[in-house]
Amino acid sequence: MHRLPIGTNVDIEGSGEILRISSLPSVGERRLALDRRGLIADAIFVHLPRPFTIIRAGHRPSEVALTFDDGPDSHWTPQILDILKQKRVPATFFIVGENGLTQRSLLQRMIADGHEVGSHTYTHPNLATVGRTQTLFELNATQRLFQAFTGMTLKLFRAPYFGDAEPTTADEIVPVLEAQNRGYISVGLHVDSEDWRRPGVAAIVANVVSGVLGATPVRSENVVLLHDSGGDRSQTVAALPMIIDQLRQRGYRFVPVSTLAGLSRAQAMPSLSPTDRVAAETDLALFDMLDFAVWGLRALFAVALSLGIARAIALTGIALLSARREARQTIPRIDSKTFVTVLIPAYNEERVIQRSVQQVLESADVRIEVIVIDDGSADATSEIVRKSFGKDRRVHLLRVKNGGKAVALNCGLALARSDLIIALDADTQFEPTTIARLVRWFAADDRLGAVAGNAKVGNRVNLVTKWQALEYVTAQNLERRAMARFSAMTVVPGAVGAWRRQAIEQVGGYPPDTLAEDQDLTLSVQHAGWRVIYDQSAIAWTEAPQSLRQLARQRFRWAFGTIQCVWKHKAIMAHGKPRGMAFVGLPQTILFQLLFALVSAIIDLALLFSVITTAASIHEHGYTAVQGDLTKMALFWILFVSIDLTAGLIAFALERKEDWTLAAWLIPQRFVYRQLMYYVVIKAIVQALRGPHVGWASIIRSGQVHMTGTTAPAGSS
């Protein structure tokens, strides 16, 4: 007995575009009879091999069924429904489930207007290339969504990329068989309008009319393929009335697909049984939640994009106005007799402490005393200070038990002899004129509590530090300038700032209960009625973390400290005083430094998912199918990036002698650096909600800070 392999052809019988697989392929059997010489004497075919057999039905001359794939679409489908209603034409819509998720009202309108609905899968994959599991998911998900939204069942089915009524290969037939085994009726087509190619209105009309008129007894042309989603369908909308009018003039009657299949509308979309309605109600809650999530994400994107653009424009405009006012402002004269105490808290700063103190001592036009507070260092910090400055009466060394930066500063403050205090991070280097420029403002304003300077990254040695240098330039020149304009500065940076001793003591000294003592003190001083201003020309060069890991640790501490400060000073917003801080400073901190990071992370993930799905759609559908959506997404992104880039360039323009080569990193910065910032803020928020204590995370010093790290000269003003 010899087995005969299955044939590769498909046996198609009948005429029409309603398809039913009537038999499956089977192997054949042949028995051979041999003579005495071993030669074949006779062959008996016990079973002949059989291919797939497909029965076609639905050939009804002078009747046409208009079918629309890929919808529903909030923009195009209503226009098509309006035309069909005006022309009194029934149609059949083969919906994609994920599109129907957010268009419940359109599905209900289709039914109310007398149209039929069929399944076109949930995500529109090529079922010939996916497994059985996904095929069943695609069918089941769309079915359950339609049942939940309408209380009716889908019976009609058209597989994506399978419009032809003569499938010829097993991979085309198997998905149809899976659907048929679950009670679906597969609908093919012979008249392809090719509107998905957007060939022009005249071409779409000609394709349909000539296709319908070309019907023969062996090839029906009853089913017309059009699309109500999947790209720009303006040509389809324009062509539809002409198609209807021209075919009617030739005597054709428009019917739903169920008529071609010999079914009633109730059979094509049967109502659910009472038992199934209970399950559908459960599904409805699930799909409603998914619908809410999708719309919520869209709204989140729109709000975040609008706020981001508005903030960039507002900060830029206010910063420009502030810069213009600064140009006309009378700057106080520098008094070389001014006496200033510089506090330098140090914990394991042996690499940078000598240079930091030396730079302060070289300050011009000001009298200086330096108090180095060794906060329990385990390295040679104190020894270096003694060895290098032991004979300099301006330098004092105070060793204390490790208790944190705020405690160390308060110990130093108790020994300070000046009414003007500068707290300097040990990794920071001042330009010769920085201190004089910071303290010159106090003599002119008795209510001035603090002056913030212009911190710059001095170790621009790799991509991570260059990104930070770029951030410092844009933040200093836009945000700090704008916030100063509203008396809403939330932080005088620890790297460069001058304080009135009376203001510090009035609020109880440097606060030890947050990780952002500089921000905490800034808020407390303003809450107590003191003013805070910004002097761009007072420049300090600070050492930034040189690795992403170190950067993440630093920024986590900053973000967690910001959360602590906002919570600690929430009474400012409750009481509305001081006004600038209550209505601008703290709200923008909460909105853009904390909440915006959460939203931006979600949007970035959604954008990444959108890029992946769009790429998949281009691969499967071609560029034309997604051109409209892709163009819209690209325009939004280009708009946002353009405004962001413009704001960054204006920031550089306001810092006239900055290194403009940094601006080249404005766009690349968006793809790694900002996502890291989102991560640390989210981590800080989660940690704050959990409530455990977060300690101070020290950053490894390299001692690579150079004041000549940019083209800005040491005395720039």
Q: What amino acid positions are annotated as catalytic residues?
A: 69, 227
Strand (E) or helix (H) holding 456: strand 448-457
Strand (E) or helix (H) holding 227: strand 223-227
- CA–CA separation, 641 vs 647, rounded Å? 10
In this structure, the strands spanning 223-227 and 63-69 are: parallel
Q: Is the peptide bond before 587 cis (omega within 30 degrees of 0)?
A: no
- CA–CA separation, 431 vs 360, rounded Å? 8
- CA–CA separation, 592 vs 77, rounded Å? 38
Q: Which of 382, 666, 429 is nearest to 543 (CA)?
A: 429
| Neighbour-count burial of 635, counting CB atoms closer than 10 A to its CB (0-12 exposed, 13-18 middle, 19+ buried) | exposed
Supply φ then ψ for residue 341, to 5 degrees: -100, 125
- The DSSP code sequence of 591-653 is IIIIIHHHHHHHHHHHHHHHHHHHHHHHHHH-HHHHHHHHHHHHHHHHHHHHHHHHHHHHHHH
Strand partners, 152: 271
Length of the chain: 717
Residues 6+ apart with CB under 8 A from 456: 469, 472, 473, 476, 539, 540, 541, 542, 709, 710, 712
Neighbours of 366 (CB within 10 A): 25
- CA–CA separation, 67 vs 165, rounded Å? 14
Are residues 650 and 318 in contact, defined by beta-carbon separation less than 8 angstroms?
A: no
Supply φ then ψ for residue 651, to 5 degrees: -60, -40
Token pair of 500, please? Answer: 């009135």
Per-residue exposure over 16-29, b if at least 16 CB sit within 10 Å of its own CB, e if not: bbbbebeeebeebe
Strand (E) or helix (H) holding 44: strand 40-47
E-state strands within 271-365: 339-346
Token pair of 324, please? Answer: 């213009």
Are residues 389 and 359 in contact, defined by beta-carbon separation less than 8 angstroms?
A: no
Q: In what order do the strands lie in the sheet with 40-47?
A: 2-4, 28-34, 40-47
Scanning the structure block, which residue is given the tokens 């005429």? 15
Distances (CA, A) of 304 to 577, 586, 681: 28, 18, 17
Strand partners, 346: 374
Strand partners, 26: 50
Q: Which of 539, 536, 541, 558 is nearest to 480 (CA)?
A: 536
Residues 6+ apart with CB under 8 A from 660: 652
- CA–CA separation, 480 vs 536, rounded Å? 9
Strand (E) or helix (H) holding 68: strand 63-69
Supply φ then ψ for residue 33, to 5 degrees: -110, 130
Q: Which of 493, 575, 568 is nearest to 538 (CA)?
A: 493
Strand partners, 56: 14, 19
Distances (CA, A) of 533 to 419, 499, 527, 596: 18, 11, 14, 26
- CA–CA separation, 492 vs 523, rounded Å? 9
